[in-house]
Amino acid sequence: MGQDELYREAAGSYGAAMERLAGAYEARADRRSDLVQEIHIALWRSFAGFDGRCSLRTWVYRVAHNAATSYVMRQRRNNAPLVTLEDLDTPSNGVSAEVSVDRARALERLLALIQRLKPLDRQVILSYLEGMDAVAIGEITGISAGNAAIKIHRIKQILTRQFHQGGRHGE
Amino acid sequence: MANEYSSDDPIEIWQSQPVEPITMSMAEIRSKAVKFEGQIRSRNYRETMVAIVMIPIFLLFAHFFTSPLSRAGAYLIVAGLLLVIYQMNVKAAPRRVPEDNGLQNCVAFHRRELERQRDLLRSIALWYLGPLIPGIVLFSIAVIAPKIRPDHPADWWRALPALVIAAAWFWFTIRLNRRAADHLQRTIDELDRIAGE
């Protein structure tokens, strides 16, 4: 497949995921479409060098995360410091659990949590939320599957506390 | 992977959020890619405005000052400013995402970008401050020298405050950038540690 065909397939299969990913990297709605376009341009350009060494999904997510990280590094001035999962994984972070929250508020809270994270932890939690397992997350991010599994475990604990629900997700 | 979603499941909440994927034709993608390149190149323009404003000022100095030394100093400062503007827009300009970034995992990509920024900050004395030093020194000497009385060598001390301020500015700029570079190095070390686990 050529560059254009690969891009069309990626945009068709992962277009919605790219929108969600952009929302996790750019809180301001008016700038989000710039990031989405930047990701799509990076994707299209990247397919000139796609050689099938990894799956299309891994390629798409790597390019999207790398483009978004590059965007954050350029934009990030005078903002609040980013934190790690370990920083969030403490009972004293001031977030109170609620038995039920409506979906809009829940999504808002989830986005706020993700947007506070450092790039690597943000990549892991986004991959997890997109339904990926530890091996796939390792391929995209570059950390070992074991390390990814540990991070997923921590993410589940954080999300459980924040959303007050039982964990269940397959890895 | 089998997922059973519940109504307040974060994965379900995440994946079912309302989004409208953008659709761009290939012609749009190509034209936006070209436009985007231009935007990337122009990002440092605001940061070079100060340097651009300084150029006419020193050209005026070069025009109105009569001594060859002060004119040479002013021209050297203008040359230094032009070099700094060039470096800021070429060497230190934000880069577009490289085409091979799909081959790189996120840690490797992030590490490479951090290393690039760290090296730029560490070498700021060479590419940002260095080109300005010869002109500033020559211009300062040219301005101060006529005020030195031949039989009063202690007059040179009058130049001290200006030189101290200039040196302090250089030192402060280097120190500030070194600190920022050290911070980036700590982030790189942290990435290395996590990737090695």
pTM of the model: 0.74
Choose among B8, B24, B108: nearest Cβ to A100: B8
CA-wise closest residue to B110 among A160, A167, A76:
A76
For the stretch A11-62, pLDDT in tens is 999 999 999 999 999 888 888 888 999 999 999 999 988 888 889 999 999 9
**Number of inter-chain CB pairs under 8 A, A vs B:** 160
The pair of structure tokens assigned to B47 is: 């940061």
Q: In chain B, which residues have their Cβ closer than 8 Å to the Cβ of A42?
A: 96-97, 101
* Segment B51-68 mean pLDDT: 89
Instruction: Look at residue A94 in the predicted model and tell me its pLDDT.
Output: 44
Instruction: Look at residue B141 in the predicted model and tell me its pLDDT.
Output: 83
B183 vs A1, residue with greater confidence: B183
Distance CA B77, CA B54 (A): 9
Choose among A69, A103, A139: nearest Cβ to B110: A69
The pair of structure tokens assigned to B95 is: 């880069």
Q: In chain B, which residues have their Cβ closer than 8 Å to the Cβ of A124?
A: none
For residue B113, count other CB atoms closer than 10 A to its CB.
Answer: 22
Q: In chain B, which residues have their Cβ closer than 8 Å to the Cβ of A108?
A: none
- 8 A C-beta contact, residue A134 and residue A156: no
For the stretch A92-147, pLDDT in tens is 444 444 544 577 888 888 898 898 888 899 999 999 999 999 999 999 999 999 99
For residue B145, count other CB atoms closer than 10 A to its CB.
Answer: 14
Greatest mean pLDDT among A91-100, B36-45, B64-73, B144-153 lies in B64-73
**pLDDT of A69 above 70:** yes
Confidence class for position A89, pLDDT limits 50, 70, 90: low
- 8 A C-beta contact, residue B98 and residue B113: no
Beta bridge partners of A83: A117
What's the one-letter identity of residue B17? Answer: Q
